Structure 1
Amino acid sequence: MALNRDEGPWGNAGGVIKNKKTYFAILAHINEEALAAQVRNIRHFNPDAGIIVYNGGTDAEFAQQLNILRFPGSHPIRYGNLTPYFWETMKWLEESHVQYDYLINLDHDVLFVKPGFQDCLDELMEDYDVMGWDMVTSFSPSDTNLSCCRDMWREWERWSLFFKTDYFVRYLNSTQVYRHGIVRRMLEAADHPAVEDRIGNSNVFALEEMFFVTYALSLGARIREYPREENWESAARFGHRQISLEEARWVKRQPYYYWIHPVKEAWLIQLNEQLIGRKNM
């Protein structure tokens, strides 16, 4: 899948994907103003990183007016299974011969609170291939209350044959980090039509939280969790309760915390102005 040179301007590259140490992939489909604020935030705190936006909705015009690199094969992504978007992004980067160290999956409701994330990755990922937030290792249906894990156990007979393991690992979807080497290994090992059929026909809600890390682990990846502070849920959590200004301030003071989730739409825009403008922060 080649990049159309008319798609997604990126600096003066004429639509050609540049080699970057870090690439952020964002799945979005609503509220261009919020997406624009998120992109400004990422560029402000991670100026050397690349950003790829995947349009997961039905509006083909979404994000066309923004100065961002847009994934050219975007198509609607089914709610509850975001796996195809990140898998296709991995494939596209590899087919385009892009060199990078880290590929990071970002939700549309993530903001950075300070610079230094890439240096932090170099430290935390020195001996690892994969990192994610809130790691859960599940060996049986009874050892976790997470609904996504219970869903995986309902389909485990078919997934265990693919992973060739008797357990799986789960991360929060957003901010999963993959080194280029393990991404290449995952793509090379895959029977792509079979993998994509298995992904597309799964009824596991939030399959993406378990698929990538468990597949990487099955191929020998060294995996870890982001460091956990006592109040780690002040940085990232599930549900609709957004990160507050006070929590963002707390995150900013922590040595290994650089981003917050969830921060949505109007609040994302407002909070970002405080973060990059240093108002009340």
Structure 2
Amino acid sequence: MICFALLAHKDEEALLQQVRNIREYNPNDTLIVLYNGGNDPDFGKAVCKSENVLYCTSSRPLQAGKTGRFFYDVMAWLEEAHISYEYLVYTESDVMFINHGFKDLLEQLMNGYDCLVEAVKVEMYPDKSNWTTAMRMWKEWHLWKPFFRSEFFYGTFNPMQVYRRRIVKRMLRRINKSHLERLLDKTGVISMGEMLYLTIAMQCGAKCQEYPRMYRKYFRYRPFISLDEVKDAKRLPEAIFAHPIKDHSVRAWISSSQTTKDTEGHS
């Protein structure tokens, strides 16, 4: 069972397109949990009801760039609700699937591993860091060091991090909730999710795998994925997902290509 933890905060139409996109390319044994990071408490509830999506009741408004707690909230909520899954996937509103094969890829790459990420970075020396996100963490390291109980931390790219439930359980046991809450209330670190989860997992003894380069061709921070790129990606079986997709025309084309495929498949 794959559980997609989906962070979104606005645009019901885009949310509906994304939910249906996840279902199209992951049709079997799939759960989707929506975390509403916006200010409208009703955002996404209609989509959840119509599309059989779980709504995380721990959702709360999040500031831009400071969305790192979302994955922790979903992890804890799933455990409290006794919801079973094998893989938990960190998914954001600007990720969409392009081709099938994600489940097969997980089973291949996660064989003998506890987590799967874009790349593993190790931050050991603040004066040698050239990663903006980590540099902000180093500035607050006097606050975070007692929480991590470590001299260094790990980092990766937020979207499409994958963790087995067995390692999630160990991570939750290690996390001091009240300590984490105090830190999250006052931190100035952005993209906390790029460091928090991988570091805790590694401290719990996780074996971590990286996505091979061939699967990351259309997976990056900037610039946004263009329509031409998505059309090119569609022709490559290894281009399973893409990020960041911000343009409505790109979303519409992906959704249309799904519909076309479904129509052709049933003709």
TM-score with structure 2 length normalisation? 0.88
Q: Summarize the alignment of residues 230-249 of structure 1 with structure 2, pairs less than 5 Å apart.
A: 232=216, 234-239=217-222, 241-249=223-231
Q: Summarize the alignment of residues 1-281 of structure 1 with structure 2, pairs less than 5 Å apart.
A: 21-48=1-28, 49-66=30-47, 67=50, 68-229=53-214, 232=216, 234-239=217-222, 241-252=223-234, 256-278=238-260
8 Å CA contact retained: 1:128, 1:223: yes
| 5+ residue gaps, structure 2 | 262-267
Tell me how far apart the structure 1 counterparts of residues 41 and 203 of structure 2 sit (CA, whole Å).
37
Task: Give the residue type in structure 2 aligned to 1:195.
Answer: L
Percent identical pairs in the alignment equals 36
8 Å CA contact retained: 2:226, 2:250: no
Instruction: Tell me how far 1:54 sits from its aligned partner.
Output: 0.9
Tell me how far apart the structure 1 counterparts of residues 184 and 176 of structure 2 sit (CA, whole Å).
12
Counterpart of 1:17 in structure 2 is none
Instruction: Tell me how far 1:129 sits from its aligned partner.
Output: 0.9
Q: Secondary structure at the match of 2:6?
A: strand
Q: Aligned-residue CA RMSD in angstroms?
A: 2.0
Tell me how far apart the structure 2 counterparts of residues 84 and 99 of structure 1 sit (CA, whole Å).
21
Q: Secondary structure at the match of 2:45?
A: coil
Tell me how far apart the structure 2 counterparts of residues 106 and 154 of structure 1 sit (CA, whole Å).
28
- Report which stretch shifted further, 46-55 or 67-76: 67-76
8 Å CA contact retained: 1:110, 1:260: yes
Tell me how far apart the structure 1 counterparts of residues 31 and 231 of structure 2 sit (CA, whole Å).
26
Tell me how far apart the structure 2 counterparts of residues 114 and 187 of structure 1 sit (CA, whole Å).
33
Instruction: Tell me how far 1:116 sits from its aligned partner.
Output: 1.7
Task: Give the residue type in structure 2 aligned to 1:94.
Answer: E
TM-score with structure 1 length normalisation? 0.84
Aligned residues: 256
Q: Deviations over 1:43-65 (max 9, x none)?
A: 00001211111111111221222
- Report which stretch shifted further, 211-220 or 269-278: 269-278
8 Å CA contact retained: 2:21, 2:96: yes
Tell me how far apart the structure 2 counterparts of residues 175 and 110 of structure 1 sit (CA, whole Å).
8
Q: Deviations over 1:221-280 (max 9, x none)?
A: 111211113x94x411113x321244334544556541100112513432322431358x
Counterpart of 1:12 in structure 2 is none
8 Å CA contact retained: 1:38, 1:272: no
Task: Give the residue type in structure 2 aligned to 1:140.
Answer: Y
Task: Give the residue type in structure 1 aligned to 2:18.
Answer: Q
